[in-house]
Structure 1
Amino acid sequence: MNNLKQYLSLAVSHPGIFRNPQSEGLDVILQEEEILQIESLVAQKLEQKGLPLEWAKVGIVYKDQYLMVLRDAVRFPDGQLGTYIRILVKPDSTRGVVILPIYQQKVLLIRHFRHATRSWHLEIPRGFGEKDSSSEENTQRELMEEIGAEANSLVSIGEMHVNTGISSECVELFFADIKSVGEFDVKEGITQLLTIEVSEFERMISDNEITDSFTIAAYTRAKLRQLLP
């Protein structure tokens, strides 16, 4: 089965990924003949710019056990035709979790090396969800794996779409009252566990010392819901 056939088969098996808006928006085109016409149109534009023609190909650009990259044929709101690339979490994957942990009235932060940026970040625990586990179970697991922590209570503080410009990923944010803390997970690239006063935590966000979007979003939700000490 060629790439386009796999792509169209994915559209049949997971129609929600390809749903079009009721009103104006970007429409995904799934008619094979029209897709081929759009590929030809885009290829002409790429050729004029001296760019690789394979960038015009609609289909599954890449996939592994974690994510999938699609290049769709689309009709833009002004009627123009073209392609648009997006990153999807696997259709059968479980939502990830992000946890703002409070221990003895203070915020727990980890110093974590992130491969994507090739740098260190101050952030709160987070992780992928495991299939057949609830969000609360995934949250408790991540707390134990990353900082050896147990929670007295967990409060869901809503969802967060990570990057709506290119990614479908959505995570659930949690506020956690921590009972106890153990060892942090060195093999995950964590080198330090910090216990920070809330006022200092807010200063670090304000002064750009914390740039992790998950941490900032969880703090904002917790602050607005008056959960912080």
Structure 2
Amino acid sequence: MKKIMILSLIVSIFSLVGCFNHEQVFESDYFTYSIYSNEVVILGLTNLGMEQETLIIPKEIDGYAVTSLGTESTLTSRAKGHIYSLNLKRIYLLNPIYISTYVFDLPELEYIFSLYYMPVSLYLVYAGEEAKYLDITYSSHIQKEFELNYADLRYRLNIHSDQLMDTYLIDYYENEIIGYKPLDPSLDGRVFLGWYKDVECTIPWNFEEDIVIFDDLNTETQLYAKWDK
């Protein structure tokens, strides 16, 4: 009887593992992903995603919050996720997000931009790689053995007095034209009218001509969103 019970338990465990390892995988324009407990875990890139040099990890996909890139292995399931591209150079994170160990296979990656302190596994991803992690808000949390650069370009929504809450995106360009123009931000009931150099939105930023100045006197350029009333 005990042998039968043990055998039944083993079969149940392997059946459970099988369930975890065969979850449904969906596709958006750029990402492949699964949904766990009403949260999105990004597992990889679509063919279109692999063609991009820059990617924004969205806050939501299909109404579900994006909370993780890949999954870690557990007693009942293997690690999942392989984000591979020979073209991707810049990743932008709009939310705090968990980056699983070894999920990235991005030989050309130069920057990850985030306003938030990332979990420890982020450092394991970059062991031996040259990619730079930019974090202008909680830089004291970065381990000393990793090179830290500072983003010098901040896009502001121009609706909050708190700078962190008001930040839409951060980026880095040194005495050069902005190479990546982000997707337009959105607010319920308002229309986005462009990026401006001043908080009053009287001087528009020209993405084809204006240069992000970076020197001892100019360590950060801020651009402000203009909205219809």
TM-score, with length taken from structure 2: 0.26
Instruction: Identify the structure with bigger relative contact order (alpha carbons < 8 Å, sequence gap 6+).
Output: 1
Structure number with the higher strand fraction is 1
